[in-house]
Amino acid sequence: MGISALRRIQVGLETVRGTSVAATKVLLGNLTMTPKLELYEPTDEDRNSLALLHRSTIVGQGCDMQYKGSATFEQLINFLAMTMKGGVTATTPGGGTLTRDWEYAPSLTAANTQDGFTVEYGDDQQEYESAFVVGKQLLLDYDMHSVVGLTADLAGYYPAKSTFTGALVAPTVEDIVGKKTTVAVDTTWAGLGGTAKATLMLNGKVTIPSGIAFPAYADGSLNFSTTQEDKRALEVDLLLQHGADGETQYDNYAARTITFVRLETLGTLIEGALYKRLQIDMALRWTEPPEMFELESGLTAIRFKGKTVKDPTSGSDYRVGVRNAVTVLNGAT
């Protein structure tokens, strides 16, 4: 008997994408898993029968997953590795011993080869295991009355029945709190973070698509064998107070001016003067008409929606950095 309270998610970082590995960590959150079969089921055969279907042949397979939970300083890096850029290793910032910086700045001119993970999911009845799990899209939801929410759309191999890797315990994690976010808006990529705007953003959403596609090669396997990357841009939805800074963004929309935005959220102190941190830097152009005069907590606001663009001066479009005390991606956290 499957008991919902006994569901669990465990993952392991694959050395070779598509080759299953034992899980090394528990993920906290909720997961839905949708195994998919591509079928050939002809309905127009001359069979001297009024039955519509007679035979079924599997011609392809895979699995879609969706993770929902809170973004945490410790576990967000797993999803960034799946979705933005693989092969990222942590660096130690100045003044740090325990502190690690994870920076995900996808290349615009080369493949980013996102990391593949093996995902173990199930309950006390049965574990299902999918290899080569990568991210199709991440959504970070900045709610000033809650934690930063995370929704991750993932894809991988068709799941096989197996057994959970044993002896894994739930990690200690720290939620990223929406109200601890600060916003800076500047006029150049080099100046990012220099001009804080304390009464500007009321809420926001940042969508991070990977651009991953799954080509079907003649390689003898029903699962995909590799991934391909296409063009992509962050999609940003910010509700901004209708003040002088909000008016500036209205003017930027009309003039097609690039806006440089940094969202930075701090957590607890790690050591010295180094705090846990999530930082998103973006070169934005507002691509949709502003939604004028929304109401939020008694304030007049404008909703701006846009996408990141390549800044011609710096050559950058976006990057995401996480500061925590996690030393390796395939560790227990």
**Is 333 part of a structural domain of the chain?**
no
Q: What is the CA 161 to chain-centroid distance, rounded? A: 27
**Is 96 part of a structural domain of the chain?**
yes
Span 233-239, average pLDDT: 98
Range of the domain at 188: 4-324
**Is 306 part of a structural domain of the chain?**
yes
Q: How is 199-231 classified by DSSP, letter by letter? A: TSEEEEEEEEE--EE----SSS-SS----EE--
Tokens 């940003």 belong to 236
Q: What is the CA 321 to chain-centroid distance, rounded? A: 13
Tokens 């009464």 belong to 199
Whether 228 shows a pLDDT value over 90: the answer reads yes
DSSP classification of residue 276: E
Q: What is the CA 246 to chain-centroid distance, rounded? A: 28
193 vs 117: CA distance, rounded Å: 33
Q: CA dist 147 to 62, 294, 320, Å? A: 32, 23, 18
The pLDDT tens digits for 1-22 are 899 999 999 999 999 999 999 9
If one counts the domains in the chain, the total is 1
Q: Please answer whether residues 186 and 194 qualify as being in contact, where contact means their C-beta atoms are separated by less than 8 angstroms.
A: yes
The pLDDT tens digits for 275-309 are 999 999 999 999 999 999 999 989 999 999 999 99
Please enumerate, as own/partner, the contacts of 221-227 that have beta carbons within 8 Å and a separation of 24 or more. 222/58, 222/59, 222/60, 222/61, 222/158, 223/18, 223/61, 223/62, 223/132, 223/157, 223/158, 224/62, 224/132, 224/157, 225/18, 226/17, 227/114, 227/134
pLDDT of residue 1: 82
Whether 188 shows a pLDDT value over 90: the answer reads yes
Whether 250 shows a pLDDT value over 90: the answer reads yes
Span 259-278, average pLDDT: 98
**Is 331 part of a structural domain of the chain?**
no
Joined together, the tokens standing for residue 298 give 């008694």
250 vs 304: CA distance, rounded Å: 8
**Is 330 part of a structural domain of the chain?**
no
Q: Please answer whether residues 171 and 333 qualify as being in contact, where contact means their C-beta atoms are separated by less than 8 angstroms.
A: yes
**Is 175 part of a structural domain of the chain?**
yes
Give phi and psi for 296, each to the nearest 5.
-145, 115
- Rounded to the nearest integer, the mean pLDDT of the chain is 97
Span 153-182, average pLDDT: 97
**Is 180 part of a structural domain of the chain?**
yes
The pLDDT tens digits for 36-66 are 999 999 999 999 999 999 999 999 999 999 9
Amino acid at 300: T
What predicted TM-score, i.e. pTM, was given to this entire model? 0.96
Span 147-155, average pLDDT: 98
**Is 329 part of a structural domain of the chain?**
no
